[in-house]
Amino acid sequence: MKDFWRRFSRNRGAVVGLVILLLVCLVAALADVIFPGSPWDMATAPFMPPGEEGMLLGSDSLGRDVAAGIAHGSRISLMVGAVSTVAALAIGVSLGALAGYLGGWVDDAVMRFTEFFQTIPSFVFAILLVAIFTPTIGSVVFAIAVVSWPPVARVVRAEFLSLRSREFVQAAEVLGKSRLAIVVTDILPNALSPIVVLSSLMVASAILLESALSFLGLGDPNLMTWGFLIGSGRSVIRIAWWMSVFPGLAIFLTVLALNLVGEGLSDALNPRLARKRGGAA
Amino acid sequence: MDVSRRGLMAAAGSAPVLMTVSEALAQGVTPRRGGTLQMMLTPEPPVLQIGVNQQGPTLAAAPKIFQGLITFSPTLEPQPQLAKSWTISPDGKEYIFKLEENVKWHDGRPFTADDAVFSITKFHVELSPRARAIFTLIETCEATDPHTLRIVLKQAFQPFLLMFDPTACAIVAKHLFDGQDYRTAPAVQQLIGTGPFKFTEWQRGNFIRMDRNENYWKPGQPYLDTIIYRIIPDSQSRRLALETGQVLLSQASDIEPFDIPQLRSRPNLTVDTKGWEYFSPLSWIELNHRVKPLDDARVRRAMSMAIDRNFIINRLWFGVGKPATGPVASTTRFYDANAKIAAFNVREANALLDAAGFPRKADGTRFSLKHIPLPYGEIWTRLSEYLRQAMRQIGITLELESTDAGSWARRVGNWEYETTINFVYQFGDPTLGVARTYVSSNIQRVTFTNTGGYSNPRVDALFEEARTTPAAADRARLFSDVQKILVDEVPQIWLTELSFPTIHDKKVHNVITTGLGPSKSFDDVFIAG
φ/ψ (deg, to 5) at B397: -95, 120
Contact B162/B432 with Cβ under 8 angstroms? yes
> How far is residue B340 CA from its own chain's centroid?
23
Averaged pLDDT, A20-40: 92
Q: How confident is the model at residue A273 (pLDDT cuts 50, 70, 90)?
A: low
Indicate the DSSP class of residue B294. T
Q: How confident is the model at residue A111 (pLDDT cuts 50, 70, 90)?
A: very high
The answer for residues whose C-beta is within 8 angstroms of residue A155's C-beta and 6 or more apart is A92, A96, A194, A195, A198
Pick the residue from chain B with its C-alpha nearest to A134. Answer: B402
- Cβ contacts of B406 on chain A, cutoff 8 Å: none
A118 beta partners = none
Asked if B399's CB is within 8 angstroms of A46's CB, the reply is: no
CB nearest A235 (choices: B378, B384, B403): B378
pLDDT higher than 90, residue B233: no
Q: Element (H or E) spanning B421, and its range?
A: strand B419-424
Task: Flag the least confident range among A7-11, A145-149, B290-294, B398-402.
Answer: A7-11
Q: Note the pTM of the prediction, 2 decimals.
A: 0.84
Asked if A221's CB is within 8 angstroms of B402's CB, the reply is: yes
Q: Element (H or E) spanning B198, and its range?
A: strand B197-203
Please state, in angstroms and rounded to a whole number, the distance separating the CA atoms of residues B88 and B97. 9
Contact B526/B223 with Cβ under 8 angstroms? yes
Please state, in angstroms and rounded to a whole number, the distance separating the CA atoms of residues A69 and A76. 11
Pick the residue from chain A with its C-alpha nearest to B393. Answer: A41
Pick the residue from chain B with its C-alpha nearest to A136. Answer: B401
How high is the pLDDT of residue B28? Answer: 58
Averaged pLDDT, B366-375: 94
Give the angle B255-B260-B265 at the CA atoms, nearest 5°.
135
* Chain A touched by B330 (CB under 8 Å): no
Task: Flag the least confident range among A174-183, B6-15, B148-157, B249-258.
Answer: B6-15
Asked if A221's CB is within 8 angstroms of B400's CB, the reply is: yes
List, as ranges, residues 364-393 from B with C-beta within 8 Å of A: 373, 378, 381-382, 384-386, 388-389, 392
- Cβ contacts of A62 on chain B, cutoff 8 Å: 315-316, 382, 385-386
Asked if B401's CB is within 8 angstroms of A236's CB, the reply is: no
How high is the pLDDT of residue B8? Answer: 37
Count CA atoms within 13 Å of residue A75 on its CB side: 14
Does residue B235 or residue B69 have the better pLDDT?
B69
How high is the pLDDT of residue B403? Answer: 85
How high is the pLDDT of residue B323? Answer: 96
Pick the residue from chain A with its C-alpha nearest to B237. Answer: A235
Contact B318/B324 with Cβ under 8 angstroms? no
pLDDT higher than 80, residue B14: no
Distance of CA B36 to CAs A120, A268, B58, B209, B426, Å? 48, 70, 20, 10, 33
Bond preceding residue B222 cis, omega within 30 of 0: yes
Averaged pLDDT, B445-469: 92
Asked if B400's CB is within 8 angstroms of A40's CB, the reply is: no
How high is the pLDDT of residue A161? Answer: 92
Please state, in angstroms and rounded to a whole number, the distance separating the CA atoms of residues A46 and B311. 11
* Chain A touched by B20 (CB under 8 Å): no
Mean of pLDDT over chain A:
90
pLDDT higher than 90, residue B452: yes
φ/ψ (deg, to 5) at B322: -135, 150
Q: How confident is the model at residue B27 (pLDDT cuts 50, 70, 90)?
A: low
Asked if B389's CB is within 8 angstroms of A41's CB, the reply is: yes
pLDDT higher than 70, residue A194: yes
Does residue B211 or residue B17 have the better pLDDT?
B211
- Tens of pLDDT along B336-349? 999 999 999 999 99
Asked if B382's CB is within 8 angstroms of A232's CB, the reply is: yes
CB nearest B258 (choices: A45, A61, A134): A61
Asked if A41's CB is within 8 angstroms of B402's CB, the reply is: no
Mean of pLDDT over chain B:
89
Where are the alpha helices (H) located in B337-471, listed in sequence order? Answer: 346-355, 378-392, 405-413, 430-433, 457-468
- Tens of pLDDT along B131-150? 888 898 999 999 999 999 99
Asked if A62's CB is within 8 angstroms of B258's CB, the reply is: no
Please state, in angstroms and rounded to a whole number, the distance separating the CA atoms of residues A241 and A243. 5
pLDDT higher than 70, residue B80: yes
Averaged pLDDT, B473-496: 96
- Cβ contacts of A221 on chain B, cutoff 8 Å: 373, 381, 384, 400-402
* Chain B touched by A37 (CB under 8 Å): no
Cβ atoms within 10 Å, residue B91: 10
Strands B493-497 and B148-153: unpaired
Please state, in angstroms and rounded to a whole number, the distance separating the CA atoms of residues A70 and A91. 31
CB nearest A40 (choices: B235, B378, B388): B388
Topology at the third CATH level for domain A2-30+66-276: MetI-like fold (1.10.3720)
CB nearest B401 (choices: A40, A42, A134): A134
Q: How confident is the model at residue B209 (pLDDT cuts 50, 70, 90)?
A: very high
Please state, in angstroms and rounded to a whole number, the distance separating the CA atoms of residues B416 and B407. 10
> What is the torsion angle, in degrees rounded to the nearest 10, for the CA atoms of residue A168, residue A174, residue A175 and residue A180?
70
pLDDT higher than 80, residue A150: yes
How high is the pLDDT of residue A275? Answer: 56
pLDDT higher than 90, residue B258: no
How high is the pLDDT of residue B6? Answer: 38
Cβ atoms within 10 Å, residue A18: 19
- Cβ contacts of B399 on chain A, cutoff 8 Å: 222
pLDDT higher than 80, residue A109: yes
How high is the pLDDT of residue B359? Answer: 94
pLDDT higher than 80, residue B454: yes
